[in-house]
Amino acid sequence: MASGFGFPILSPAEIAEQLFQYGIAPVANLRPENIASPQPDLLPGVLARFFNSFVDAPGDGEDGLLGFSDLEVLDNPEHHMEAIRVLRLYNKSQAFLDSIQFKDFTLADFTRPTPRRVVEVLSALINFLFYREEKVTLLQPIVSETPDYHERTLELKARMAQLQKEIADHELAEQMEEPMAQQLEADVNALQQKVQVYNKQQLALRAKAAVINDKKEEIHRKITQADFELTKHAQENSRLMSKLVKSPEKVQRALEEKKSARAKLKESEKIAMQNDQEKSAALEIRNKAHEKLTKQHSKIQDVHEQLVAAKTVEKEVKARKAKLNDESVSVMSFDAQIVDWQGKVHEMEERLKGKVKERNQIIADENQKLGALSSEIEGKLQCLEPREKKVEATIAKASNLCSEAASARTAATAEQQKIRAKFNNIVKAVVQHLHG
């Protein structure tokens, strides 16, 4: 189970110290002896605290609740809560360790790890925290150059939310007032139709009034003419009265003719007075109709003012939408600045990679010098022939011990594989039971 991720192996004391420093120690009294002889709950506790502190966002942690599909499959879901929680934590831990190139992390390493595997996993975890802290330190000057970016972003988002709320309120008010506006529009149309009818009636009444005025003038002219004729007849009557003594029969006949003409004249005057009264009544009706039209016209003006106010509110909503679009453009400019900063961060990472390559080159040069020095030391050791026999005897003894240890390791590995095969069979059975 060799790892594909290169990192220095830390001692149990260093691991315990760093776990306390980063706040991911599972217990308050963790000691190096607990890492050298680990308990089954050591790795789950450290990994759970690590995910809660450095990986999971607030609100993204597992809540331990089962989905409807799990509840349908399991007979007694409450009996499997702990097993499901452990399996979820193992899957998350395996995915994270794979992402940092730490391979071959099995369920046995998670539940029953050996001391060596515990040290390797915790060393990889702490080295990742070192690498993360170094990256954060490198990016801190860039972040400090824009200290108010988040505040400005929050202000803009709050302003956008406020404007969107105002727009929604205006749209809601517009929707709520739309039936009223439609009703007002229908009333305005009806009133306009009534105004047109009244205008036609007014024109007709004016035409009738003009005809009546013409007739009235004609009647006044006839009355004047009649008065003139009456005066003329009175003069003629006085003249005839003077002649009455001379010709009484002739005068009597002329007088009767004058009386009949006067009766006809009075009858025509009476008819003219009746016509004048009728014209006066029609004129009064026209004045009343004019007053009603004036009142209707004032109502139409009030409705027109309400429509103008509604159009003003609509223009204000459009202006606010335009302002919101302008602020969206400013937010997009901030996004462009973020992309620019991300490019700078990428450039810093490239520089860091160059520094790492340079460091690796220096280490390779030092290793070459170390090889030369080792060859020189080997040459000097070959000159030490008196100690060669003693060394060979020691080596032979060590070889025997190594062969014994290899045989014991082989037996232990076989026994461990048997136990692991049994454990995997148990896990498979549990998983098959969980999934129906």
Shortest CA distance to 146 belongs to which of 350, 352, 344? 344
One-letter amino acid of 171: E
Q: In the chain, pLDDT over 70 holds for what percent of residues? A: 80
Higher pLDDT, 190 or 377: 190
Most confident residue range from 46-60, 78-92, 167-181, 313-327:
167-181
Q: What is the mean pLDDT of residues 407-435?
A: 76
Buried b / exposed e over 76-113, threshold 16 CB at 10 Å, is eeeebeeebeebebbebbbebbeeeebeebbbbbbeeb
Instruction: Give 356-398 pLDDT, tens digit per residue.
Output: 787 778 777 777 777 777 677 667 656 666 666 776 777 777 6
The sign of the dihedral angle between the CA atoms of 78, 79, 80, 81 is: positive
Can you tell me the distance from the alpha carbon of 178 to that of 360, in angstroms, rounded to the nearest whole number? Answer: 74
Contact assessment for residue 340 and residue 146, using Cβ atoms and an 8 Å cutoff:
no
For the record, the structure tokens of 116 come out as: 């060596």
Q: What is the DSSP letter of 38?
A: -
As a whole number of Å, the end-to-end CA separation of the chain is: 32
What's residue 130's pLDDT? 92
Mean pLDDT for all residues in the chain:
78
Shortest CA distance to 119 belongs to which of 55, 51, 46, 50? 46
Instruction: Give 251-262 pLDDT, tens digit per residue.
Output: 567 677 777 887
Can you tell me the distance from the alpha carbon of 62 to that of 223, in angstroms, rounded to the nearest whole number? Answer: 113
pTM, entire model = 0.35
Can you tell me the distance from the alpha carbon of 68 to that of 175, in angstroms, rounded to the nearest whole number? Answer: 41
Query: Could you identify the residue written with the tokens 């030369």?
Result: 372
Shortest CA distance to 61 belongs to which of 102, 92, 27? 92
What's residue 127's pLDDT? 92
What's residue 59's pLDDT? 46
CB-CB neighbours of 58 under 10 Å? 6
Instruction: Give 117-170 pLDDT, tens digit per residue.
Output: 989 999 999 999 999 889 888 888 876 766 566 677 788 888 888 898 889 888
**CATH tag for 12-146 (out of 3.30.930.10, 3.90.550.10, 1.10.10.10, 1.10.418.60):** 1.10.418.60
Instruction: Give 266-299 pLDDT, tens digit per residue.
Output: 787 788 788 878 877 877 887 787 787 777 777 7
What's residue 3's pLDDT? 41
Interhelix angle 149-242/248-382, nearest 10 degrees: 170
Higher pLDDT, 149 or 306: 306
Instruction: Give 76-115 pLDDT, tens digit per residue.
Output: 556 667 778 888 889 999 899 888 888 888 888 888 888 9
pLDDT band per the 50, 70, 90 thresholds, residue 73: low
SS3 411: helix
SS3 347: helix
What's residue 91's pLDDT? 92
Q: In the chain, pLDDT over 90 holds for what percent of residues? A: 5
Q: What is the mean pLDDT of residues 66-81?
A: 57
pLDDT above 60 for 220: yes
